[in-house]
Amino acid sequence: MDGMKTSKKIILASNSPRRRELLGGLDIDFEVRVKDGIPEDYPQDLPMEEIPKYISREKSRAYTLAPDELLITADTIVWTAGRVLGKPASPAGAEDMLRQLSGKTHQVVTGVTIATTEWSTSFAVVTDVTFAALTDEEIRYYVRRYAPLDKAGAYGVQEWIGYVGVTGLRGSYYNVMGLPVQRLYSELKKHHIISDNEQ
């Protein structure tokens, strides 16, 4: 059986190999199209869930679509102690972020925008992630071995640190990886982009 049938050509606007893997898991054909240099600034008074939604909408506005295309943009943040942990600027910054997450529960929020030439919609999904207390040696090992400078909050849940550190997770695991694929699938079905009829 071939993949799921879609009514539009799906465009994923992301450099993330994890998002590509997750979208591919829905068994739909898609093309990756990336524009560099899109600002990821946001108004500082936005509540937690609105931040990644805002950024995903701004990313979406940078693209010009054909009538038969649908664009997916996403942004993921880590939220702890009332503030955002973005991507660390250095290994030392990554170690500091992981110390802030150690022994506590934080929120991972992914905002997604789906857009065509006729309409767009945005949503956010929140997952609670609890870490065990991490030793400095464990933190240094992970940062040195995995160099998580491209990841919000300085960690990938699917990597070593997730295996040894995550004691609990409430919500979507795939959301923590960077794309809430169940919610995305539901939205695509709701807008008649994906058909679940037998091919």
**What are the residue numbers of the active site?**
75
Cα 135 from Cα 141, distance rounded (Å): 10
Contact 87, 97 (CB under 8 A): no
Cα 28 from Cα 34, distance rounded (Å): 19
Q: Which DSSP letter does residue 7 get? A: S
Chain position carrying tokens 């946001």: 42
Q: Are strands 194-195 and 30-32 parallel, antiparallel or unpaired?
A: unpaired
Residue 31 in 3-state DSSP? strand
CA geometry: angle 15, 113, 110, nearest 5 deg:
70
The one-letter amino acid at 150: D
Helices assigned H by DSSP within the chain: 17-24, 50-61, 91-101, 136-146, 160-165, 173-177, 181-190
**Two tokens, residue 9:** 């050509």
